[in-house]
Amino acid sequence: MGKALIIGAGGVASVVVHKCCQNPDVFEEICIASRTVEKCEALKKKLDGGRTKIQTARVDADNTEEVIQLIKSFGPDVVINVALPYQDLTIMDACLATGVHYLDTANYEPPETAKFEYSWQWAYKKKFEEAGIMAVLGCGFDPGVTGVFSAYALKHYFDEIHTIDIVDANAGDHGYPFATNFNPEINIREITANGRYYENGEWIETPPLSEKKVYDLPEIGPKDIYLLYHEELESLAKNITGIKKIRFWMTFSQNYLTHLKVLENVGMTSIEPIVFEGKEIIPLQFLKAVLPDPASLGPRTKGKTNIGIIAQGTKDGEPKNYYVYNVCDHQECYREVGSQAISYTTGVPAMIGAMLMIKGTWMKPGVYNVEELDPDPFMELLNTKGLPWQEDFSPTLLD
């Protein structure tokens, strides 16, 4: 049926590649392209021989011209960008130049500042409309499934949603004193930034990790959750009509936070360049180089993740509460695709989004966040492609 160009060959890309190969009727051909071609070749070696034909290529996705040449030579229907957020705009430019659809899992980030905002990518809306191509932004789990969950709640259970709390819990244990579950640079930038949430039309800032609650999560138990800013808050505050308050919460263990505090205090999480032995380095990038590679955590991680949204609002004039969540087991993911649950919960939705685009189910020119698209076909595929969800109509609320 279709061809996908997958850019990136890290933890998330590996899951996308496995899941595309599990669905050869849709993904007849894929090309895995990344900066380090050996990683693409290693993935091909693992999965070759099935019905999905696999090619590999070396590409520096910071260079639009290189991406254009690759798209022209492979001829994909869609580009799945699972490289880093820094490459979003160059890849979108290449898609515009070649008339190919685009999907990613993280908003564009300028390398020199941590912003977590969609403004740069939303500015492409008109250009994508005029070119007759589609971009789906933030199609991982959070952002991604959390937006689909929100759209599904609004479509089926509410007339108005007033409050959304996104709760992202990882109760996995990899046995290292300190490691991040996905790209350490992106992860640490996210956590060390100020917290922020939306209430009554305003954004309220909180010092990093200063707001804490304990929440008892299904299949995981009580956990400390901390308020963070997360990029889907921006698009959900805009796209979920009637919303008055939206917050994002993530679990961290005391051990993780102690390590992070020390690293921060000694300057290792900074993105300001410093000169070391005559060479300019960015401390956070150096830290990334000494931390365990997230892709290596797969075989060691035990336990589950639980990510969901708690929505409060009204239906037929009556107050209504709703919790929808997915529980994912690290070891089951590892058995299936050789990755831990963080990469799995990101890669599966990216594959589903691309599948819906190739099938034409999600297809309209322009630039969209997932909650702007019909949630129903996506929710069905979550259940059948590895991320089944559960509902609770009388959840414990956070306040």
Q: How far is the CB of 56 from ligand NDP (least distance, A)?
A: 12
CB closer to ligand NDP out of 190 and 320: 190
Q: Which of 2, 144, 353, 366 binds ligand NDP (CB under 6 A)?
A: 144
Q: Which of 61, 103, 356, 358 forms a contact with ligand NDP (CB under 6 A)?
A: 61
Half-sphere exposure of 84 (CA within 13 A, CB side): 13
- CB closest to ligand NDP, residue no: 10
> What are phi and psi for residue 174, nearest 5 degrees?
-100, -5
CA count, 13 A, side-chain hemisphere, 322: 26
Helices and strands of the chain, counted as H and E runs:
14, 18
Please compute, for residue 321, the number of CA atoms within 13 A of its CA located in the half-sphere on the CB side: 10
**Residue 64 Cβ vs ligand NDP, minimum distance, rounded to whole Å:** 11
Q: Decide: residue 116, CB within 10 A, 0-12 exposed, 13-18 middle, 19+ buried.
A: buried
How far is 60 from 92, CA to CA, in rounded Å? 14
If binding is defined by CB under 6 A, does position 353 make contact with ligand NDP? Answer: no
Figure out which of the listed residues 1, 25, 36, 276 binds ligand NDP, where binding follows CB under 6 A: 36
> From the list 133, 137, 284, 295, which residue makes contact with ligand NDP (rule: CB under 6 A)?
295
CB of 318 to ligand NDP, least distance (A): 33
Nearer to ligand NDP, 11 or 313 (CB): 11
Q: What is the DSSP letter of 157?
A: T
Q: Is 140 in the site for ligand NDP (CB under 6 A)?
A: yes
Cβ-contact 305, 341 below 8 angstroms: yes
Q: Which residue carries 């979003």 as its tokens?
A: 88
Q: Which of 30, 56, 59, 34 is nearest to 45 (CA)?
A: 56
9 is a contact residue toward ligand NDP (CB under 6 A): yes
Contacting ligand NDP within 87-116 (CB under 6 A)? 87, 105-106
Binding mask 173-212 for ligand NDP (x = CB under 6 A): ---------xx--x--------------------------
99/358 Cα distance (integer angstroms): 14
Shortest distance in whole angstroms from residue 10 CB to ligand NDP: 2
CA-closest candidate to residue 17, choices 343, 352, 340, 347:
347
Q: Token pair of 328, please?
A: 């994912």
83 is an interface residue for ligand NDP by CB under 6 A: yes
Residues at the interface with ligand NDP (CB under 6 A): 7-13, 34-36, 39, 59-62, 82-85, 87, 105-106, 138, 140-144, 182-183, 186, 294-295, 346
